[in-house]
């Protein structure tokens, strides 16, 4: 009987931890997890030839997501950098990107707007903030709804 009780307690504990983590992801605004895409055509016309360690990820509503190690200075260590963009050549739209360092992962922030791919604008309202976070072999995508504009409504301004 003790074994059954201990097993039930362990199962309940694992379920509780899993539900807590799931709720935390929902409250953070997680909208997608992009997996590494080994078949992605490297955008050499945009970023030059593919370097060692460079990776592509699943597309996200018309946006391409890549990471590649970069050295910032002659004596510096390589840092993993993340870039988010759409288009090619003259139609390039660079959404954002940054390198990670130390315990902080590479991230990219993009704001949905008129310059964004239509596919992205069909899914998210203009002004939506998107954060892309490199986490090992995946990129987590978070979204925050746009803040309401105080000029919306009857056109009057409080103040």
Is 24 inside a domain boundary?
no
Is 51 inside a domain boundary?
yes
Is 48 inside a domain boundary?
yes
Dihedral class, residue 151 (left if φ above 0, else alpha if ψ from -120 to 50, else beta): alpha
Higher pLDDT: 156 or 35? It is 35
Is 115 inside a domain boundary?
yes
Nearest to 133 by CA among 121, 125, 142, 120: 142
Check residue 94 and give its pLDDT. Answer: 85
Per cent of the chain over pLDDT 70 is 72
CA 135 to chain centre: 9
Is 67 inside a domain boundary?
yes
pTM: 0.72
The per-residue pLDDT for range 40-66, each reduced to its tens digit, is: 888 888 778 888 999 999 999 999 999
Residue-by-residue DSSP string for 31-80: EEEEEB-TTPPP-HHHH-SPPTT-EEB--BTTBEEEEEEEE-STTPPEEE
Domain span at residue 98?
30-144
pLDDT band at 89 (very low <50, low <70, confident <90, very high): low
pLDDT band at 90 (very low <50, low <70, confident <90, very high): low
Lowest average pLDDT, out of 45-49, 52-56, 78-82, 119-123, goes to 45-49
Is 8 inside a domain boundary?
no
Is 154 inside a domain boundary?
no
Number of domains into which the chain is organized: 1
Q: CA-to-CA distance for 74 and 24, rounded, in angstroms?
A: 40
Nearest to 85 by CA among 68, 65, 67: 65
Is 75 inside a domain boundary?
yes
């Amino acid at each position: 009987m003790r074994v059954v009780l201990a097993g039930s307690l362990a199962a309940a504990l694992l379920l509780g931890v899993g539900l807590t983590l799931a709720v935390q992801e929902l409250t953070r605004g997680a909208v997608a997890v992009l997996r590494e895409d080994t078949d992605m055509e490297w955008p050499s016309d945009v970023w030059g030839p593919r370097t060692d360690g460079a990776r592509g990820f699943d597309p996200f509503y018309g946006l391409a997501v890549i990471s590649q190690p970069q050295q910032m200075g002659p004596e510096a260590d390589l840092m993993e950098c993340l870039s988010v963009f759409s288009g090619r050549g003259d139609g390039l739209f660079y959404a954002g990107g940054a390198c990670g360092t130390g315990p902080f992962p590479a991230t990219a922030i993009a704001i949905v707007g008129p310059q964004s791919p239509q596919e992205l604008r069909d899914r998210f309202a203009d002004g939506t903030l998107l954060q892309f976070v490199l986490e090992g072999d995946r990129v987590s995508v978070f979204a925050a709804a746009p803040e309401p504009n105080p000029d919306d409504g009857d056109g009057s301004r409080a103040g």
